[in-house]
Structure 1
Amino acid sequence: MNPLALLPDRYSAENVRRVLRNPRLLRRELFTVALTANSRTRDVLNALERTDDGIDVIAADWDNLLILDACRYDLFAARATLEGDLREVRSKGSDSGEFMQRNFAGRTLHDTVYVTANPHVHHLEDGVFHAVVDLLEDRWDEAAETVRPEAVVEEAIAAHERFPEKRLIVHFMQPHFPFLGPTGQTFAHQGIDADLENRDPGKANPWFRLIYDDDVDVATVRRAYRENLDLVLPHVEDLLEALSGKSVVTADHGNLIGERGFPVPVPMYGHPRGLHRDDLLAVPWLEVASTDRRRVLPEPPVDGRDNPDEDVLERRLTALGYA
C-alpha cells in the first residue's frame, strides 16, 4: 500500500514531488505544519490554563472605541504619546476576522455605529450594528492599496455628527501593512498568493516574505511596521480631539515579529488565525477620560451596508494579505 494514500489530497505523490523541487513551496509546507502544531499545542495549554477568554470590548465602558489593526502592546507603549491611562489587555482573536466574530457576531448592537477600513466586516451578518460605514469602496486608495488614516478620521467625524446618540467604533487599518512610511515604500506590496510558483516573490506581503523568502531583511520589515504606527498616531490624536465622550484606543490583535513558536521553534511573523499566543493577543487599552459622556440610544438599523462586488472585495482582501 502506498503510504501517501493515507495523507490529504494536497500531499499526493505529484504534489510532494512538486514541493520537493521548489524550495519556496517546501518552506511554505514546513511552516504550515509547524504553525498547525504550534496552534494546537497553544489550544491545549489555553484550555488547561483557562486564559483564552480575552476582553469583551463591547461590554467595556466607552463612547468611542478606536481600533488600530495589528498593533502590538509593546510597540504602542513605546511609540504612542497619547494622553490617557494605558494598560495591556488580551484580545479575543489573533486576526481581524476572529476578533469580529468573537466580539460582534450574533449580538444586537443597535446603539453602535461601526466605521471601518477592514474588509472582514463583510463576513458579519447584517443587522448587528445600527449602521456600518464601510470605507472599502469610496475611500480606498488604489495606489496605497489600503484606506489611509486621514480618510478614516474624516468619515468617523461625519458619522459622529450624523449619529450623535450612538456609540462609535472606528477601525483604522494601520499599522497593518501595506506600509505607508518611507521604509515601507521600498516594498512592492501585494497580498499573499497561493500560486507561489508563478507569482512575483518581490510583491508578496512583507511578513510572508520573511517566512518564505531569503531576500528580506527582518530589521527593515520591523522598521516599516513601526513607521506605520508612527504614521497613524497623529490621526488618532486628531480624532480623539474631535469626538465627544469617553474614548478608548485599542487593537484587534497584535503581530508577531520573529518570536519562536512552541513546540516547533520556527520564527513566527504576522498574525495567523487561531494562534492564541500571549505575545500575539496582547494589545493596548488606552482610556481617555471625559466628563462629557454621550447619551446613547439604541434604534433599529439604518442604511444597511451595500455588499461590494465580489471581485472588488477579493482584491481588497488580497491587497491586505487576507486572500
Structure 2
Amino acid sequence: MSMWRRYSIGNLVRVLRDPRLLRGETRRLRDDALELNARCYQLLNRAERVDVMDEDWDNLVVLDACRYDMFEEQTDIGDTVTSKLSPGSESWEFMQESFVGRQLHDTVYVTANPHTYKLPDDTFHAVVNLLDDHWDDEHRTVMPETVVEQTLAAFERYPDKRVVAHFMQPHFPFVGETGQDIGHAGIEMQLDADERSEEPHPWNALFHGEVTDEETVVDAYRENLDVVAPHVETLVDRLPGKSVVTADHGNLVGERTYPIPLRAYGHPGGLHKRELIEVPWATVEADERRAVTAEPPEAREEIDEGVIEDRLKSLGYRE
C-alpha cells in the first residue's frame, strides 16, 4: 500500500477511533527506516569478510550472536584473540555465504541453530541437529552442555572429520539468573498479557520502544555469554587438534545506525554495521593436527515442520 493511501482521511478517522492503530504504523515506519539503512550499509561497507571454511582449523566453535568486544572483555578463551568480519548479520545469511553451494564432505556440523534445516542435504558429510531430541523445554533452547556432549560424541563417531559446533548462546532466550528473573526471552514480565504473543523478541521490543529497560536486557545478554564460555573452554580442551572460536554474527545493543539515526538492537538481516558483523576469532593451538578425509554425505534425519516452527518462534526468528 502506498504512503498516500495509508495516510488517507479514512485511516485518520480509524486512528482517532482506535489510537492503538498508531502504534502499528509507528512500528512499520521504524522497520522501513531500518531497511533503508541496511541498504546503505551494504553499499558502503565492502570490507573483506572471513570465509570460515577456508581457514585453518580442525574444530570450529560458533557462538550465536556474540559481539567481539564483549567476548574479548568477558572471556579468556584462546591463545590468540583477534576479530574478523562475518559475511552476514544474521544466522541464515552467515550460513548462505559460508556453507551453501559447497561440498564440505570432510566436515561434520553439530548445531543448535534452527536455520540449519534450509541447508542442502549434500553440504556436509553429516549434520547432527540438536533441535528435536535435545531441546530444553524449560529454557526454550538447546543448552550449552548439550552441545558439548553431542559434539564430543560426534567426534568419537567421525574422528577423521573437521567439526563445526554451533552453540545457540549468547543469543536469547536468556538462560542466566537475570534472564530468568525477567522472564522467557527477556521481556515477558514487562509486557501486558495481550502483548506477549505479539512481541516475544526482546531486541525488537526495545527497538520499537515497547520495553524501555535496556540495561537489564543487555545484562541478561552478557550473562548468556558468561554461561556458555566455560562450556566452550571444556569443549576445546577435550577436542584434539587446532580449534577456532568465533560467531556467526554480533548483536546491536542500542548503537545508532545511519543515514537515519535509529537506536538499533539485535541482529537485523542485511544490516552490515560494524558492531553487528565484527566477530571474535580466538585460536587454540595444538601440537598435533588430525588427518581429515572427505567421504560422501550421510542421509540427514528430517525434523518435523511443526518442531522447526516452534524452535524458530522460541528463538525469536518468528513473531
| TM-score for both structures, normalised by structure 2 | 0.91
Are 2:293 and 1:273 equivalent residues in the alignment? no
Q: Residue 137 of structure 2 corresponds to which residue in structure 1?
A: 142
Deviation for aligned residue 1:252: 0.2
Q: Residue 70 of structure 2 corresponds to which residue in structure 1?
A: 75
1:117-266 to 2 correspondences below 5 Å: 117-189=112-184, 199-200=195-196, 204-266=200-262
1:266-288 Cα shifts (integer Å, max 9, x gaps): 10000000001111100000011
User: Aligned pair in 2 of structure 1 residues 135, 15: CA closer, same or farther (>3 Å)?
Assistant: farther
Listed as ranges, the gaps of 5+ residues in structure 2 are none
Q: Give the Cα separation in 1 of the matches to 2:311 and 2:30.
A: 25
Residues 186, 220 of structure 2: 8 Å contact kept: no
Q: Give the Cα separation in 2 of the matches to 1:106 and 1:212.
A: 36
Are 2:315 and 1:320 equivalent residues in the alignment? yes
Q: Give the Cα separation in 1 of the matches to 2:132 and 2:186.
A: 18
Residues 150, 235 of structure 1: 8 Å contact kept: yes
Q: Give the Cα separation in 2 of the matches to 1:56 and 1:234.
A: 26
Instruction: Report the AA paired with residue 240 of structure 2.
Output: S
Q: Give the Cα separation in 1 of the matches to 2:264 and 2:199.
A: 20
Q: Give the Cα separation in 2 of the matches to 1:68 and 1:40.
A: 26
Deviation for aligned residue 1:190: 5.2
Q: Give the Cα separation in 2 of the matches to 1:247 and 1:100.
A: 19
User: Aligned pair in 2 of structure 1 residues 12, 152: CA closer, same or farther (>3 Å)?
Assistant: farther
Deviation for aligned residue 1:45: 1.2
1:32-65 Cα shifts (integer Å, max 9, x gaps): 021112111112213xxx32x4100000000000
User: What is the aligned residue count?
Assistant: 310
Residues 69, 252 of structure 1: 8 Å contact kept: yes
Are 2:102 and 1:107 equivalent residues in the alignment? yes
- Give the match's secondary structure for 1:126: coil
1:91-137 Cα shifts (integer Å, max 9, x gaps): 00000000000000010000000000001101111110000000000
Instruction: Report the AA paired with residue 170 of structure 1.
Output: A
User: Aligned pair in 2 of structure 1 residues 197, 145: CA closer, same or farther (>3 Å)?
Assistant: closer
Residues 166, 298 of structure 1: 8 Å contact kept: yes
Instruction: Report the AA paired with residue 257 of structure 1.
Output: V
Are 2:84 and 1:89 equivalent residues in the alignment? yes
Residues 186, 217 of structure 2: 8 Å contact kept: no
RMSD: 2.4
Instruction: Report the AA paired with residue 220 of structure 1.
Output: T
User: Aligned pair in 2 of structure 1 residues 185, 271: CA closer, same or farther (>3 Å)?
Assistant: same
Q: Give the Cα separation in 2 of the matches to 1:316 and 1:21.
A: 30
User: Aligned pair in 2 of structure 1 residues 93, 8: CA closer, same or farther (>3 Å)?
Assistant: farther
Listed as ranges, the gaps of 5+ residues in structure 1 are none
Deviation for aligned residue 1:308: 1.3
Equivalent pairs: percent with the same residue? 51
- Give the match's secondary structure for 1:317: helix
1:25-44 to 2 correspondences below 5 Å: 25-44=24-43
Q: Give the Cα separation in 1 of the matches to 2:131 and 2:195.
A: 25
